[in-house]
Amino acid sequence: MRPIEIYDTTLRDGTQGEGISFSLQDKLNIAKRLGEMGIQFIEGGYPLSNEKDTAFFQEVRKLDLGDAKVCAFGMTRRRSMKAADDPGMKALLAAETPVCTMVGKSWDFQATEVLGATLDENLAMIGESVAFLKQQRDVIFDAEHFFDGWKANPDYAMKTLDAAVQGGAGWVVLCDTNGGTLPEEVAMAVAKVKELFKDRSVVVGIHCHNDSELAVANSLAAVDAGADQVQGTINGIGERCGNVDLISVIANLAIKKKGYQVLGGRPLTQLTELSRFVYETANLQWRNGQPFVGQSAFAHKGGMHVHAINKAASTYEHIDPAVVGNERRILVSELSGRSNIIALTSKDNLQDDKELMNRILAEVVRLENQGYQFESAGASFDLLVKRLAGTFTAHFETIKYRIVAGDRDAQHADGFAEAIVKLQVGEEMWFDAAEGHGPVNALDAALRKALQGTYPELAEMRLLDFKVRVVDSSAGTAAHIRVNIESGDSNDSWGTIGVSENIIEASWKALVDAFEYKLHKSDSGA
Ligand SMILES: CC(=O)SCCNC(=O)CCNC(=O)[C@H](O)C(C)(C)COP(=O)(O)OP(=O)(O)OC[C@H]1O[C@@H](n2cnc3c(N)ncnc32)[C@H](O)[C@@H]1OP(=O)(O)O
Ligand SMILES: CC(=O)C(=O)O
C-alpha cells in the first residue's frame, strides 16, 4: 500500500474563501479535530498576514495534535531583499513550526508581470528563500500556477522546482492555482516531474482548486501519476470556487482506489462529524448534496429506489454510509411509493397492513399537494401515521386561539404580542393567556401555561428553530405558508409542520403537533 500524505490548508487557503473568518479559538478547535482525524500536515495560517495567525502559532504549541505537523505559510523573499532581512522569512521562522510552506512563482508570465522580476531573479528568490529556511526547518515548496507555467514554458516551470529542491525543499507541490487544468494534463505533468526527481529524495504533492469542478478528479489523477501528498481543505472551502475537498479525496483514496493508504489506515467513521464541525465553526449551512458526508448523500426519495433499498442497500448506495459516519435516510414525499411508507413505519410494525400503507401514501400525496413536506417533519409524519392507524390519543383538544399583536408603545419597544388559548384537557376546559416576543412565542407560552399542570414533562421541551416559506398551492392561485418547527428536549429533537394561507394558523398547527409529539414520546417512555 502506498501511503498518501494528507495536508490540510483549511486554516489558511480555506480562510481565503468568501464569507469565511475563523476566530483564534475556532482555528485551534479545528486544528485539534484535524489532529484527532490523523491528518499529517496542518497549515495554520500566514504569520506575516495578521496578528491572529501569529497568535495561532504560539497557542497551537500547547495542543496535543498527535502526529500532525503544523506548517506556517509564506511567500518567497521580496525581489529586492536578502532572505535574512525579509519580514516574511522572519515571520515564518518566528512561528516556530516544524515545517515552513513557501509559495513561489513557477509561471514565467507571473514572475515577470506580477513580481516585475527577471526569470533568473525569480529562480534566485526561490532557491535562496528555501535555503534560508532550510537551515532551521523542513521546507515544502508550493509551486504556484505550476500547470499554467508548465503549459506556457515547461523548461522554466521545471527550473523553479529544481531551484527549490537545490535549496533544500523536501517537497514540491504542484498547484493548479487557477483551477483550470484537466485531469489528463495533471497526470502528464506529474509524471514529468516524477521523472525529473527520480534520483532525488523529493516528495511530489498536488494542490488543486475547483474552478472547473475537477479538483477531486485532478488530485486523484495526480496520485495515480505518482504524487504522494494531497493538499486541500475540509468541505472544499477556499478562494473563489474553493480548494479540493479533502473529505472526498480521503474517502475515495481509502475506500475506492486500490493500493493507497491514507491517515495511516484509520477508520473514516469521524469524517461526517469533522465535516459538520467545520461547517458549524465557519457558520455555514451544511451542503446537503455533498458526497459521502452530506445529509442527502444517502437519502432515498423515489419510490422505486426505496423499494430496491429495502431488498439490498447496494442497489442505490455506492458505499455503506456508516463507513464515513453518515446514515441512510428514507424520505417521504409525493414521489414515494408504498416502500417509503413501509420503511418509515417499520418501527411500528404496520408494514403488513397494505390497506393502511395505501391510505398513508394517499394522505401524504394529498397534503404535499397543499404544500406540506414531510422530509424534515418526521414528528408530524409519525402523528399522521398514528391518526390513520387509529393509535393516536389526543392529549388535548384545541377549541380556539386568538392573537392580539401591535406596534411598539411605551411598554413594548419592539411591539407586542398576546395569545389566548382555549383547550379541552381531559374533563377540564383551560382558558389561558400569555405575552410573547412575537405571535408564535406568545402561542407557545399560552399553550405551556394551559398544559403544564397536567403534563409537567413539557417543562423540558424547547423550540429550537422556526422556518417559514411561501409555497404555491397546486391550484396555483393562493400562496400557502409552510412553517417548520424544530423542537427538542434533553435527549432528542423533532420536526413538525403546518401549512395554511395564514402564517399564524400554519405556526399553530406546527406548534400543536410539536406538543402532541412530545406527549406521545413521554407516554412511550422515550
Ligand atoms: C496562491 C495563494 O493563495 S498565495 C496566498 C495568498 N494569500 C494571501 O494573500 C493572504 C495573506 N496576504 C496578506 O496578508 C498580504 O497580502 C501580505 C501581508 C502577504 C502582503 O501584503 P502587502 O505587502 O501589503 O502586499 P500586497 O498584498 O498588496 O501585494 C503582494 C506583494 O507580494 C509580492 N509577491 C507576490 N507573490 C510573491 C512571491 N511569490 N514572492 C515574493 N513576493 C511576492 C507582490 O509583488 C507584491 O509586492 P509589491 O507590493 O512590492 O509589488
Ligand atoms: C499555494 C496556493 O494556495 C495556490 O497556488 O493555490
Q: Is 49 in the pocket of ligand 1 (CB under 6 A)?
A: yes
> Whose C-alpha lies nearest to ligand 1, atom 34?
115
**If you take atom 37 of ligand 1, which residue's CA is the nearest one?**
75
User: Which CATH superfamily includes the segment(s) 396-524?
Assistant: Alpha-isopropylmalate synthase LeuA, regulatory domain (3.30.160.270)
Domains 2-266 and 396-524 share a fold: no
The residue with cell 493508504 is 261
Mean pLDDT of 456-466: 93
Does ligand 1 come within 6 angstroms of the Cβ of 48? yes
Cell, residue 16: 481565503
pLDDT in tens, 469-514: 888 645 444 678 999 999 999 888 899 999 999 999 999 999 999 9
pLDDT tens sequence across 307-317: 999 999 999 99
Closest C-alpha to ligand 1, atom 14: 49
- Residue spans per domain, the chain: 2-266, 299-386, 396-524
- What is the distance in A from the centroid of ligand 2 to the CA of 222? 16
Q: Residue 159 and residue 475: Cα distance in Å, rounded? A: 68
Nearest in space to 466 (alpha carbons), one of 517, 508, 412: 508
Q: Judge if the beta carbon of residue 270 lies within 6 A of ligand 1.
A: no
Pocket of ligand 2 (CB under 6 A): 13, 103, 142, 144, 175, 177, 207, 209
Angstrom CA distances, 323 to 263, 327, 331, 424, 452, stand at 15, 9, 21, 49, 43
User: How far is Cα 526 from Cα 522, in angstroms, rounded to an integer?
Assistant: 6
* Per-residue pLDDT reduced to its tens digit, 203-227: 999 999 999 999 999 999 999 999 9
Pocket lining: 12 vs ligand 1, CB cutoff 6 Å: no
pTM of the entire structure?
A: 0.84
Q: Which atom of ligand 1 is nearest to the CA of 76?
A: 40
Only one residue has cell 535555503, namely: 131
ipTM over 0.90: yes
Q: What pLDDT was estimated at residue 475?
A: 47
- Choose which residue among 46, 122, 128 to substitute to test ligand 1 binding: the one with the highest number of ligand atoms within 8 A of its C-beta: 46
Q: What is the pairing mode between strands 2-8 and 99-105? A: unpaired
Q: Is the pLDDT of residue 306 over 80?
A: yes
Taking the C-alpha atoms of residue 431 and residue 426, their distance in angstroms, rounded to an integer, is: 14
Distance of CA 84 to the CA centre of its chain: 41
DSSP class per residue in 248-294: HHHHIIIIISTTEEEGGG---TTHHHHHHHHHHHHT----TT-TTTS
Pocket test for ligand 2, best of 11, 76, 110, 207 (most atoms within 8 A of CB): 207
Does residue 43 sit in helix, strand or coil?
Answer: strand
* CATH H superfamily, domain 2-266: Aldolase class I (3.20.20.70)
Beta bridge partners, 208, equal: 176
Is the distance from CB of 493 to CB of 463 less than 8 angstroms? Answer: no
